[in-house]
C-alpha cells in the first residue's frame, strides 16, 4: 500500500468527476468541498465511466443506466447496479491529491 500523487487539488472541477490512471487502474476522482473521493472508474454493472456521471449528495450516478454509488463507501445505492465499486483512501497534502493503492 503506497500513497501516489494523482492530481493537483486546484485543477479538479467541483462536483464533477475526473478519470486518472494510477498503477494501470482507471480511477475516478471527485472533489466535494475540501475533500476528494476516489473510486474505480468502471461501473460495477456495465462498461461505463463513473467519472462521466452526475454528482449529487456525495453520490455519483452512472451515465449509462443511472445506478447510484456512494462516493465514500462505493456502495451501490440503486439498481440496476447491485455490486459496490472499489474505493481508495484519498488525501490532500500541499495542494496535491494522493490516493493509496
Partner 1 sequence: MAEKQYDILIIGAGQAGRRAAEGVRSVSQTASIAIIGEELHAPYDRPPLSKEALLQENGAALCDIRTHQSYADDHIDLYLGMRALSINRASKTVSTDGGVLFGYEKLILATGSRPKMLPVLPYDDELVRSLRTKEDAAVIAGRLRPGALVVIVGAGFIGLEVASAALARGAKPVVIDVADRVLGRVLPRTISEPIAQAHREAGVELLLGASLGVARRKADKIEIGVGDRTLSADLVISGVGVTPNVELAEAAGLEVDDGLVVTQTGHTSDPDILGAGEVVRHPVALTNDVLRLESWQVAEKQAYAVGRNAAGVETVYAEPPWFWSDQLGMNIQLVGAFSPQARIIPRISESCGACYFAIDESDGSGRILGAATIDAGADMSVARRLMGRRIDLDALADTNIPLRQIMKSSR
Give me the 33-72 binding string for partner 1, x by CB under 8 A, dash otherwise. Answer: -------------x-x---xxx------xxxxxx------
For the bound state, the minimum distance from the C-beta of residue 28 to partner 1, rounded and expressed in Å, comes to 13
Q: Which 3 state secondary structure label does DSSP give 47?
A: coil
C-beta closer to partner 1: residue 50 or 98: 50
Q: How far apart are CA 66 and CA 6, in angstroms?
A: 27
| 5: contact with partner 1 by CB under 8 A | no
Give the N- to C-terminal CA distance of the chain in Å, as an integer: 5
Q: How far apart are CA 27 and CA 86, in angstroms?
A: 9
C-beta closer to partner 1: residue 55 or 98: 55
C-beta closer to partner 1: residue 48 or 97: 48
C-beta closer to partner 1: residue 16 or 96: 16
Q: How far apart are CA 4 and CA 67, in angstroms?
A: 29
Point out which residues bind partner 1 (CB under 8 A): 46, 48, 52-54, 61-66, 79-80, 82
Amino acid at each position: 500500500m503506497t500513497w501516489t500523487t494523482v492530481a493537483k487539488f486546484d485543477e479538479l472541477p467541483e462536483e464533477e468527476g475526473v478519470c486518472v490512471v494510477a498503477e494501470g487502474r482507471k480511477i475516478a476522482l471527485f472533489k466535494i468541498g475540501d475533500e476528494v473521493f476516489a473510486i474505480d472508474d468502471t461501473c460495477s454493472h456495465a462498461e461505463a465511466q463513473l467519472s462521466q456521471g452526475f454528482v449529487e449528495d456525495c453520490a455519483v450516478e452512472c451515465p449509462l443506466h443511472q445506478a447510484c454509488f456512494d462516493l465514500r463507501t462505493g456502495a451501490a445505492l440503486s439498481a440496476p447496479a447491485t455490486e459496490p465499486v472499489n474505493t481508495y483512501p484519498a488525501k490532500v497534502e500541499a495542494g496535491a491529491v494522493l490516493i493509496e493503492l
